[in-house]
Amino acid sequence: MGQRVLITGVGIITAMGDDVQQHLERLLNVRSGLGFTDYVNTVHQHVLPVAEVKHTDAALATMAGLPGTDGYTRTTLLGLVAMQEALRSAGSPDVQNARTGFINATTVGGMVETERVYFDLTDPAREGEYVASADLLDCGDCTQHIAAAVHIDEFVTTISTACSSAANALMLGARMIKQGLLDRAICGGTEALTRFTINGFNSLKNMDRQPCRPFDQQRNGLNLGEGAAYLVLESEALVQQRQAHVLAELTGYANTNEAFHATAPSPEGDGAFAAMRDALQMSGRSLDQVQYINVHGTATLTNDAAEGKALQRLFGQAVPPFSSTKPFTGHTLAAAGAVEAIFSVLAIRQQVLFPNLNFSEKMEELDIVPNTELRTAPVENVISNSFGFGGNNASLVISKF
């Protein structure tokens, strides 16, 4: 069975705020972070809503305590700000005094920097220092820079499984703790807005020109977001040794791959159903012990139909209150699993259910509707879903400690 995996620290930065407290205040005041981009040079700048962190790269470097931005991409800087808060939240432990790993998630790494010199890079007649920007496409670049800045070297790796990346990072960290390979794992993800992702999702006709409407009959796609979030996972033995404060427990997790289609889930939600079922079984909790589900809820036509059917298959007529928080943060892609895991921790600690914004009309494919109001309720166990391209399905069960 291995060690229990306890959550002792959280750190986050998105369009909603620069730290956990600012996010909590925005959630409780039901204030979305959606707007338009100031920093991405795109023809869609005033057309497609996004959730952008309203700090320049230089400002992010200052927040991270760096003298400048040299060598640090926006992706790295976002991650470093969130990492530093997560460590402070965990009581600023000495990461060299226990076997500490860093498992980071990102989908496009430092592509935002490479795009700025794209035409120079593709012109064989040109030379210059900008050539080094090509290396920033390596997703491991931001991971290594963040790890080095906080002096983690026991185990450092990068996961890139599309929108399930950060949830899979948390699973790997938990598994390594349970197997006795690590005492502590800092897990999550970081993602910066890029023209590549904006154009890519737009070409798939998956971008809404209005604020997204998860689980609504009139849903028309997602809004992208950027940000970073990390959770500090520690073994129960390490927590007891250093008398650490525990925020919540990661009691269950599971991932599946249905391999139905490159960019679409199985229509009946086969993978989502199996991921939730297996995660709940691992947690030792029964269906009626789940009080809230933070759904993946992208507001795309196929995801919400498949995820909703999976919820109905698993819970029958007793589907717990559920909501998508992506209308608050946008879809932060690789970071989303960690962002929403932190929201799940907040739901337990504050005993609240967060609302699914912009909902007005029940989906004709489903018998269920999301929770649309901020309300207080007993919350002991939360399922947090993250489903990605390629059939990646990941579910976490986060429980009150």
Mind telling me the catalytic residues?
163, 296, 331
Helix locations, 204-358, DSSP H: 236-242, 270-283, 301-315, 326-329, 336-350
Rounded distance, CA 369 to CA 349, Å?
Answer: 25
Rounded distance, CA 293 to CA 312, Å?
Answer: 13
The DSSP output letter for 206 is -
b/e map 201-235, b = 16+ CB within 10 Å = bbeeebbbeebbbbbbeebbbbbbbbbbbbbbbbb
Question: Which residue, chain included where needed, has tokens 């033995």?
Answer: 237
What would the DSSP string read from start to end of 19-58? SHHHHHHHHHTT----B--SSS--TTTTTS-EE-----HH
Rounded distance, CA 287 to CA 253, Å?
Answer: 15
Measured in degrees and rounded to the nearest 5, phi and psi for residue 357 equal -70, 155
Contacts of 18 (CB under 8 A, 6+ apart): 55, 63, 81
The DSSP output letter for 333 is G
